[in-house]
Structure 1
Amino acid sequence: MSVPQEDPLDSEIAAALDGVDLQGLGAEAESAPATGRGSDKLWPGVVMGISGDDVIVELGPRMQGVCSLREFEEPPEVGASLRFAMRGREDDLWVLSIRAAKEVAAWESLELGSHVKARVSGQNQGGLELRIGKNEAFMPASQISLNRDLDPSTLMGQTLICEVIEIDRSRKRCVLSRRRVEEGERSHALQESIGKLHTDMVLKGKVTRIESFGAFVDLGNGLEGLMHVSNISRKRVENPADVLAPGQEVEVKVLEIKDGGKRIGLGMKQLEPDPWDQVPSRYPADRQVTGKVTRLMDFGAFVELEPGLEGLLHVSQIGVERIRRASDALQDGEEVTVRIVSVDPGARRIALSRLDARGAIIGSEDAVDADVIEEALAKPDAGNLETNLGSLFKKAMQKDGEGSDGAQ
């Protein structure tokens, strides 16, 4: 048979109340003469009229009372039926209080989960002492606020909106929580914020935490989103900590909202200019460009042509001879001259090659300026063709030879 688990909140309250006499918190006030405090009984009465600061009330046959007009939020109408608390007797008139009646009614209507106004009247080791009207209540230290750095003494004399988490009228025991109210307010504000949130919104936030997979960003009003490492920049980011820091203010775009706002995807990359908008015109087929190797894979190498724009140099296009792995011929960070083989804007892919159109490695001694040769072939009447071609090859060989000698 399993042993029932004890409620952590019950244990917390019991520990906070250890040595605290709730009935005794207001013992001094309770010992006042009955004529000064009256009883908790409420008396029905009818407003007969108003004379100066006095509201005249008919309580029954030959029984009248008077209540201060200042206790009313607005002057009562003649004939209005209300309930009053008796506070004594003066000059054959009962002294009544509508304010005290409301306090008694509030105490009688208390139930678990209800919200009530309570004034902080004292502090002890376990928490705060409060008053609901003339009735005493207690608030454990852990239930004072969501802000753990709050000094409870700063709440002395303040009237707080609290939630009833325990009530036992027979023992005059009432335990309150201000933290529960704050949680509810925060949850309500959060739901309101989520309701206003939609994809493609651009918001300002602050980086709260950085992980290897991305960064968490506080958007305010209890909202927090995750910016995946792939959405930080159009430039390749290996480690988010290299470009972001906790506390840094950032501008982000809302990419997705899932699980009712519990998961919010963010991005900074989407706010940067997209290099692909100009790729087809700037990188036509057969154009030769210089880039930097950013990643080496067995099947090839990724080459950065400009910030945020990479192409794939397949292993079959790295050299004339067969190469098993890209790392056998290239190094990470190495600058290489490549030829644009094809561009696929829809798939965002650029195919590269280190071989020229004739299959020779670009810049090698076997490479000849194809444009010059084709121009010579297109003009057979411009002198002796064999002599012209021979001269071209000779110049190319001499040029490559000079380059080789200089490298020795």
Structure 2
Amino acid sequence: MKVLLAQSAGFCYGVERAVELTKKTAAESGCCVMLGDLIHNAHVVAELEALGVRKIAGPEDAPEGATVVLRSHGERRELVEELAARGLRCVSAACPNVLRIQTLVGQAEEDGRQVIIIGERNHPEIQGIASYCRHPLIFGGPEELAAWLAEDPTRRDLPITVAAQTTCIRELFETSIKILKKQCTNAKIFDTICNATRKRQSEAAEIAGRVDAMVVVGDPRSANTKHLTEICIERCPRVLQIEGADELSPDFFNGCSVAGLTAGASTPAGIIKEVYATMSEEIKNVESGEESFEELLNQSFKTLNTGEKVTGIVTAVGPTEVQVDVGAKQAAYIKASELSDDPNAKPEELLKVGDEIEAYIVRVNDIEGYAELSKKRLDTVKVWENIEQAVEDKTVMDGVVTEVNKGGVVVSVKGVRVFVPASQSGMPRGADLDTMVKSKVQLRITEVNRARRRVVGSIRSVADEARRAAQDEVWNSIEVGKRYTGTVKSMTAYGVFVDIGGVDGMVHISELSWSRIKTPSEVCKVGDSMEVYVISFDAEKRKISLGVKDRGVNPWEDFMSKYRVGDVATVRIVKLMTFGAFAEVVPGVDGLIHISQIADRRIEKPGDVLSEGQEVEAEIIAVDEEKKKISLSIRALLAPAAQDESEVEGE
């Protein structure tokens, strides 16, 4: 077994500069204090305090005449101004990259732009950067950013300037940028992730994908250390984050052939070397199989080993953790965050006292007598096993689309990322895949590489199979007159195509309405639900003719029941001809107004007086019941008035 050490592990340029500058200042100054922890590493802070650099909580705690060192993460603008107002000498140990971001966002807001920062809202670096703006917006990742844009569509036109925390996870930043580039019209994007951070994350991901166990060294408060751990967990089944070599246990390396080691940017080289040496020694002990007297003695007890599976009984359920009796001398518990992949799940909703539970042992502290377990990690292993089996069984699995990736989409299947190529997404070529995000889908797993944590799936194959099954069901049961509730899929000048359950049928324009219409869009649109019935079908040619008009309603009988010759009706002009105009009397029944019956004077064409869609009063002057024809007259209603006027003039 061997240990792979990341080349970029340990102090970055900014941290190393901050530590050396503080040591130099302490040597030159009679009284040197640091405002908060210089860096997120308790060992380094303790070393500086041993050199006489006292830590203070705020400007009010600084002694008169002291030199104040500002931490590597940068400081809030108002605190710097308060120190200056007191006349205290300040030495900034802030990373040059952080200072650059502070200047960048301040200038952007002066230029009238909305500043957006991608990072951890409560991290000192972010708080310092944000203090150089009046109205900054801080988003933890793409989900928060997308939600903000969706709240108000006008925000997409705002002049936006975007920067990132220097230790931001690259994938989070790049996904956020894709959203901005796609939706915003005036966004300036600055990739402010530190090059050292980028390299360290890339190396950690590469090594984690090649090893059986991964160790990340760093202070638990360190953002970049936490991000390294998150990246490693995605690629390696066994990950341990520690502060020093004393937290290592030989049991952690049981069954490992290759182990990896990386460290956060605030971890001193000395600690990394100590961990590396301890790992090498522990591995030798594991391989040699030597047992100490203490180990032989402890064999009489049930021991808990990191990385092993254990079964226990739930003894208490609290809001933040669950206590488990695993039959060992150590007390065992599971944090709420390690119970489920669902961040909103509550312990009391998942478990109750007396339940039997299986979990992984992630940490054993023999000194304090407790063991930390994780059900979530065990569930993940089981999911991987299920996914591998699903390839052989061609099982259909449920998932949620979480993001759009290059060339396709990513679907979360019980916490495992499954890549679905665009061609297998079930969407038409060139379609906007962003519309799939957050949607629930069914898919088949087509490829699994557990070592590389790579899973490929197909939504299309499931959708195609469901469509074929639905089509077969339709064709097996179709008959003339059968009614369906369908969905309008597309429209043409001569009719619409309606999906009646995986099969499209054609509704001719003449079958859409009893009224005369020019285009289908007058009565429906794509996506509308439509009640249809089968007029005819050809199973061999796979063609179906559908109707919408209610054949139980006879428009002519409706007309005859309402009107007689001599009645006046309000009619709608539906078509203009050279010889007259056709007008709808009731839906499905039209009458002709001859050109001679349109006005009380001679006109050249009907369009001189009438227009399509116009409603007018007309008298029914003739009805041919056999041929179902109606003659109408507007003139008949105008003639008496015209005659009265001529009589007045004669007098």
TM value normalised by structure 1: 0.44
TM value normalised by structure 2: 0.30
